[in-house]
Amino acid sequence: MSLEERVKEAIRDIPDYPKKGIIFKDITTLLNKGELFSEVIDYFAKKYPDVDYVCGIESRGFIFGAPIAVKNKKGFVPIRKKGKLPSTTVAEKYALEYGFDEIEMHIDAFEIKNPKVLLVDDLIATGGTAEAAVKLIKKLGGRVVAAVFLIELTFLDGAKKLKEMGVEVDSLVKY
């Protein structure tokens, strides 16, 4: 079986979570399979070794982004929800189904000028959070080489937003 097939097999569907009609893709059943989890990290680390930083979107982007950064001996930069970072930040708002949310990065997250950045999260759906993260990275002078996701929900077209911004999108599993 291919890596994609084994990952799909390892992800558990939870019907009607967090609300009726939604089928939640539970990655915890993948994370507890150490060898397979390691293969996922290796897959992305080998594809994107030539970046300066890996940025992970809170919170599941940390689960995948930090080990990719460690594997390639690169710095890891967390992109957090508003109010979670202790030093001076730059923020970006994005639309939710009902209202808005906001993510932040430390203003001094990149120690080098014009860094090449790999953006990581577990899932891309409508693309709002990832789009805001790309804007944040650009505000701080970074260039997003690619945005990578374990899962892409293709029917929600979120990858299209990033591609329109000139960002390569790479998803291991598509539904």
> Contact, 126 vs 158, CB < 8 A?
yes
Residue 16 has pLDDT above 90, yes or no: yes
Residue 15, classed as helix, strand or coil, is: strand
Tens-place pLDDT, residues 124-170 = 999 999 999 999 999 999 999 999 999 999 999 999 999 999 999 99
| Residue 81 pLDDT | 96
Q: How confident is the model at residue 56 (pLDDT cuts 50, 70, 90)?
A: very high
Task: For the full predicted model, state whether its pTM sits above 0.85.
Answer: yes
What value does the mean pLDDT take over residues 42-64? 98
| Residue 98 pLDDT | 73
Place of tokens 């897959």: 43
Which of 52, 62, 155, 51 is CA-nearest to residue 103?
62
Burial class (CB in 10 A: 0-12, 13-18, 19+), 108: exposed
- What domains sit in the chain, N to C, each tagged with a CATH number? 36-174 (3.40.50.2020)
| Residue 63 pLDDT | 98
Q: What is the DSSP string of 99-160?
A: EEEEEEEETT--SSSS-EEEEEEEEESS-HHHHHHHHHHHHTT-EEEEEEEEEE-GGG-HHH
Tens-place pLDDT, residues 59-118 = 999 999 999 999 999 999 999 999 999 999 999 999 876 778 999 999 999 999 999 999
- Angstrom distance (rounded) from CA 71 to CA 54: 11
Quote the distance between the C-alpha of residue 162 and its chain's center.
Answer: 12
CA distances 46 to 40, 41, 70, 96, 116, Å, are: 10, 9, 12, 33, 16
